[in-house]
Amino acid sequence: MENKLIPMTTFVTDQPTTYEWGAIIPQYRLYQNILKYAQFLKQSLALWMFVPVDENRNILKEPNVNEYMDSDNEPNNTYFWEAEEYRKAKDKVLFEGFEFESKVEVINKKLKLTIFLSTFQFMNCDENGLGGGDLFGQNIDALAYADLNLTLTETAIKQIYGS
């Protein structure tokens, strides 16, 4: 699968459908892929899908080792703990390239895209100027149908296809 977020109908029609008669296993995998992608798309939108957050939904910034030096010019234990917390949170993110603007707004500078999680709207800037609109739903499926050219992380791909 390409690592772009696409609508369900595109995902289904892009699946290989030429199998030998009676080939049960490939047909079962096809069904499983479609089911897993549908489950992926139905997830409610949340901040953690775009940027690393802790268990209380506080946005995490990548720790700068220089800010955690002790008297021996070595990183202290707090740095290692915060770096591990950040890495684990970042590993959960589903969409590449986003930064936080606030707890309800994420931006992707490369795509010139802002997503407003509180109102389920988006705004983008392209060669035709400023655009945007409402997301038709409050889940990943709404992002897919908005055709925002979002790139999925390895975590998202594993969620769909397994490890």
pLDDT tens digits for 125-150? 877 878 899 998 999 999 999 989 99
CB contact at 8 A, 92 and 48? yes
Query: Structurally, how many domains does the chain consist of?
Result: 2
pLDDT score of 1 more than 60: no
Pick from 35, 120, 145, 48: which is nearest to 88 by CA? 48
For residue 99, pLDDT over 60 is answered with yes
Do residues 100 and 154 both lie within one domain? yes
Q: In sequence order, which residues have a C-beta less than 8 Å from that of residue 75 and are 6 or more positions away?
A: 65, 68, 69
Q: How many helices (H) and strands (E) does the chain have?
A: 5, 5
Q: Are residues 15 and 84 in the same domain?
A: no
Same domain for 79 and 112 = no
Structure tokens at 1: 């699968």
Give me the pLDDT at residue 25, please: 65
State which residues form the domain around 131: 1-45+96-158
What would the mean pLDDT of 3-32 be, rounded to a whole number? 80
Token code pair at residue 46: 């949340």
Give the tens place of pLDDT for each residue, 27-67. Answer: 788 889 899 999 999 999 999 999 999 999 999 999 988 88
Same domain, 41 and 101: yes
Place of tokens 């489950």: 39
Query: Is residue 143 situated within a structural domain?
Result: yes
Confidence of residue 73 (pLDDT cuts 50, 70, 90): confident
Instruction: Decide if pLDDT at 69 tops 80.
Output: no
Q: Are residues 126 and 151 in the same domain?
A: yes
Residue 124: inside a domain: yes
25 and 102 part of one domain: yes
Q: Same domain, yes or no, for 126 and 139? A: yes
Q: Judge whether 163 lies within some domain.
A: no
pLDDT for 71 equals 75
Whole-prediction pTM: 0.84
